[in-house]
Amino acid sequence: MIELVTLPAAFGMRNVSPFCLKIEMLLASLGLEYTLSDITDPRKAPKGKLPFLIVDGKKIPDSELIVQYLDTLTSGRVFAGLSARQKGEGLALTRLVEDHLYWLMVASRWLDDDWWPHVARGFFGSLPGVLRPIISGVARRRMAQTYQLHGLGRHSLEEQKGFARRDLEALAAMVPASGFLHGEQANVFDFTVAGMMAGIYDNQPGTWVTGIAMEFPGLRAYTERVQEAVGVWGRK
Ligand SMILES: N[C@@H](CCC(=O)N[C@@H](CS)C(=O)NCC(=O)O)C(=O)O
């Protein structure tokens, strides 16, 4: 049996982490039996981040490594039928979504003073009252430092919005008006894009990234189509 360990539900999202949602979609699409569990503190994960899989007592961290593991487990079904070029384009899209757009989405939740109370409640609300502001404050400062180190945190909000709009414009241009990235069947790269966009479109309330994403209705329709195809939705 496969156990997928994720973050707890928050902000109207049943599965709030794009990396966890991607893997949930992939497990469902492969028809593998799995259970979901969650932990509130990612520091308890093998590499301090979620998701990780538990298979026969063995922990497998990192969504990209999990994808590789599942490909081996299913004798190549994850990437079956994809050309080297399609895999290359898929990986380039993955990097755009997970190493750039992701950070803008995180900043729009954690570092926006108006949105921060939702993070404090959603991720730290179960802590005892006195500890809550201390632990959540430390985590928020750590997030701000990470965002600075990434480089995006050095830009003004207007400039960050420009980066987000260009990312979303690129995604909107690349997803098809019907079907999926590589044909009639949704694959792991669709799950990567839709797993990220589901949270951006459906987190409650919307963030400034949500506002920009709404400018791209085709991307929203695609995100719905992928979730529908695999029967796994990010929202509750
Ligand atoms: N490269 C990792 C990224 C996973 C990741 O960043 N997960 C977030 C949740 S969406 C996390 O656990 N963050 C906790 C932290 O960075 O402290 C993957 O693909 O699994």
Domain assignments of the chain as residue spans, ordered by start: 2-230
Pick the atom of ligand 1 nearest to 64's CA. Answer: 19
| Averaged pLDDT for residues 156-174 | 98
pLDDT band for position 168 (cuts 50, 70, 90)? very high
pLDDT value of position 130: 93
| Averaged pLDDT for residues 224-230 | 98
Between CA 217 and CA 215 the distance in angstroms is 6
Determine the distance separating the centroid of ligand 1 and the alpha carbon of 225, expressed in angstroms: 25
pLDDT value of position 145: 98
Q: For a pLDDT cut of 70, what percent of the chain falls above it?
A: 100
Counting ligand 1 atoms within 8 A of each CB, the residue from 16, 19, 53 with the most, and so the one to mutate, is: 19
Residue nearest atom 2 in ligand 1 by C-alpha distance: 62
pLDDT band for position 21 (cuts 50, 70, 90)? very high
Pick the CATH number of 2-230 from 1.10.3720.10, 1.20.1050.130, 3.40.50.2300, 3.30.70.1140: 1.20.1050.130
Count, residues in the chain:
236
- Alpha helix locations (H) across 125-156? 131-150
| Averaged pLDDT for residues 113-135 | 95
Q: Cβ(200)–Cβ(224) under 8 Å?
A: no
Closest CA to 229 of 177, 186, 195, 188: 186
pLDDT band for position 221 (cuts 50, 70, 90)? very high
- Joined together, the tokens standing for residue 15 give 């599965």
| Averaged pLDDT for residues 114-123 | 97
pLDDT value of position 42: 95
pLDDT value of position 135: 96
pLDDT band for position 66 (cuts 50, 70, 90)? very high
pLDDT value of position 147: 98
pLDDT value of position 41: 92
Cβ < 6 A, ligand 1 pocket: 7, 17, 19, 42, 48-51, 62-64
Closest CA to 28 of 186, 154, 165: 186
| Averaged pLDDT for residues 105-128 | 96
Please report the beta strands in the chain, taking only residues with DSSP state E, as ranges in sequence order.
2-6, 34-38, 52-55, 58-61
pLDDT value of position 165: 98
Distances from the Cα of 187 to the Cαs of 162, 166, 229, in angstroms?
Answer: 29, 24, 10
Distances from the Cα of 69 to the Cαs of 2, 52, 144, 191, 192, in angstroms?
Answer: 12, 11, 32, 16, 16
pLDDT band for position 232 (cuts 50, 70, 90)? very high
Determine the distance separating the centroid of ligand 1 and the alpha carbon of 178, expressed in angstroms: 31
Q: Residue 232 — φ and ψ, nearest 5°? A: -130, 120
Rg (CA), the chain: 17
Name the average pLDDT for the chain.
Answer: 97
Residue nearest atom 19 in ligand 1 by C-alpha distance: 63
Determine the distance separating the centroid of ligand 1 and the alpha carbon of 50, expressed in angstroms: 5
pLDDT value of position 74: 98
Determine the distance separating the centroid of ligand 1 and the alpha carbon of 106, expressed in angstroms: 11
